Structure 1
Amino acid sequence: MTILKTVYVITEGATERLVGKALYERGILTRTLKPKPAWERDKAPREGYDSMIGDLLFREEAGGFLDALVKKSSKSHVLLLFDQEGVSEPKERAEAIADYFREYGKRNRVQFWQQFAFEAWDSCTNVFIHSSDKLKLILHVADVLGPGGNRDFDGYILRLLKGSGREKIAQELVGDSQLVKHLLHKAEKEIPGLMEQNGFPLNCSKSWLYVYIATFQQRTSHAWFAEQVVENASEADLHRVFASLIAAWNALK
């Protein structure tokens, strides 16, 4: 029996977690690796960059998730998923995280973290790697450009909804083929146009997702909606849209 390598997956929010799960179950992310959440659901930190980063090294009951990993005798494998949002390019996000780790190392006199650094991974400008005898850590920075210039993970879902396979996705979610073109027109043109006319343009990817949720009459959060979109998108579109995430996952082999 083959023992799969365990990868601890740490995400900035629920959307990344649910979409990653759907990609894994569909085989888009290779199943030769076994994903595992870093925390039990009732012990997970609040969502968001600051909360998640803080709990990677600081946590009263555990002393910090990553710090505990590097004290183990065996090598650990970790995938971090964060947004570019708020910085001009992915490497700035990677350097900010590395700076945080190094500062922790200095304050606590932990040599491993004092020397921490990321390197660019292969040809992906938004994937970074740290590899040592204690830890292999891959950072994926969601950098897809959304409306208004925002760059976050929701942009990948919006790209699927605006791609060539959008009618298939819509039909699976709506369940009535005769309504698909009509509802897509409302989601893509009428509602955004009305918002803009009233001085409230949709300026982030998440706002667009909620337009689709409302138009398709989906009783769900944007994170669960994103999972459903991925479950119904074509394999070709998933490989294209999530190419950098697939590369990040494969780097952990």
Structure 2
Amino acid sequence: MEIQVFAEGKTEEKVIEKLKQFFSHTFQTFDCRGKDRINEEINKKLGPSIGQQPVRALILRDLDDGENNQQIIQSISDGLIQLFLERKVNAVPQFQQLPSHKNVFIWKSTSPDFHIAVHIADYRWNTSFTKRTIDDLVLQLALDQGVAAHLAQKQNVSIGGQVIIQKVTQEIPMLLQQNGFPPLSEAKDYVRLYAAVIRMHTSPPVFAANVLASASNHLVQQNFASIIEAIRAL
């Protein structure tokens, strides 16, 4: 069975690339280039399959400031209803919250054969952050001492993992604030800072891929448990 994944950006794509090893399914991930184009991409990619073959889909959404889970689910439901109307399919999505993970919502239909899961990022590494994103989970994993040490070793940086963590999470942010810079406001800020400290001159998605490659399977499964459960629920 193929699972089609609709992601806000390329970091999610790197996460799915790692998580797929834990499943026998095949995965096809679409970078929707932002939350506002997810419904459009679902329409384009899933529309032709409805009523013709089974559909299994996963949506990965960040939770921006001012949003809530209900608004996100309503937006996705509205998009699906419009899609079904265009395809002359009599179905109305009724998402149910996954009991084990309150940030995962599932809807399964037998006619048409259509299963969809919505995973909404609910972890915020710093309570002052303006949004909850997949990068918060990447950052949490990168701040494991063993992962930090492995990343430094790969970059030929002779500094212990705990020292890197202290520099990234405390010393440098404090120094910036003391010099009049505004506080770092989202996980991507810390991800970029982290990459600079260990001389990994790359983008947040590539940084995420390196972090995932440096972590044990157990840590990855523990850190991304809610996404794994969303996939299993399909």
Residue-by-residue CA offset, 1:161-207 (whole Å, 9 max, x unaligned): 23343433433443344454544332222221122221411111111
Q: Rate the CA distance shift 1:240–1:99 in 2: closer, same or farther, 3 A.
A: same
Query: How many correspondences in the alignment?
Result: 229
Q: Rate the CA distance shift 1:120–1:103 in 2: closer, same or farther, 3 A.
A: same
Match in the other structure for 2:28:
36
Q: For the residues of structure 2 that align with 1:161 and 1:220, how far apart are their CA atoms?
A: 15
Is residue 158–residue 209 contact of structure 1 (8 Å, CA) maintained in 2? yes
Q: 2:119 aligns with which of 140, 143, 157?
A: 140
Q: Which amino acid counterpart does residue 97 of structure 1 have in structure 2?
A: I
Alignment of 1:52-201 (within 5 A): 52-57=38-43, 64-72=44-52, 74-103=53-82, 105=84, 108=86, 110-112=88-90, 115-133=92-110, 134-147=113-126, 148-149=128-129, 150-178=131-159, 180-197=161-178, 198-201=180-183
Q: For the residues of structure 1 that align with 2:147 and 2:214, how far apart are their CA atoms?
A: 10
Q: For the residues of structure 2 that align with 1:103 and 1:34, how far apart are their CA atoms?
A: 27
> Match of 1:36, SS?
strand
Match in the other structure for 1:60:
none
Q: Which amino acid counterpart does residue 36 of structure 1 have in structure 2?
A: Q
Q: For the residues of structure 1 that align with 2:75 and 2:18, how far apart are their CA atoms?
A: 29
Q: CA RMSD in A?
A: 2.3
Q: Rate the CA distance shift 1:215–1:176 in 2: closer, same or farther, 3 A.
A: closer
Match in the other structure for 2:35:
49
> Match of 1:165, SS?
helix
Sequence identity, in percent? 25
Q: Which structure 2 residue ranges, 5 or more long, are not aligned?
A: none
Residue-by-residue CA offset, 1:21-63 (whole Å, 9 max, x unaligned): 0232xx3xx231111235xxxxx65x10002222222xxxxxx
Q: Which structure 1 residue ranges, 5 or more long, are not aligned?
A: 39-43, 58-63
Is residue 4–residue 28 contact of structure 2 (8 Å, CA) maintained in 1? yes
> Match of 1:117, SS?
coil
Is residue 90–residue 143 contact of structure 1 (8 Å, CA) maintained in 2? no
> Match of 2:183, SS?
coil
Question: What's the TM-score, normalizing by structure 2?
Answer: 0.86
Q: How many Å apart are 1:80 and its aligned residue?
A: 1.3
Is residue 78–residue 137 contact of structure 1 (8 Å, CA) maintained in 2? yes
Greater shift in the superposed pair: 238-247 or 171-180? 171-180
Is residue 165–residue 234 contact of structure 1 (8 Å, CA) maintained in 2? no
Alignment of 1:211-250 (within 5 A): 211-250=193-232
Q: Rate the CA distance shift 1:82–1:241 in 2: closer, same or farther, 3 A.
A: same
Is residue 172–residue 232 contact of structure 1 (8 Å, CA) maintained in 2? no
Question: What's the TM-score, normalizing by structure 1?
Answer: 0.80
Is residue 165–residue 237 contact of structure 1 (8 Å, CA) maintained in 2? no
Match in the other structure for 1:61:
none
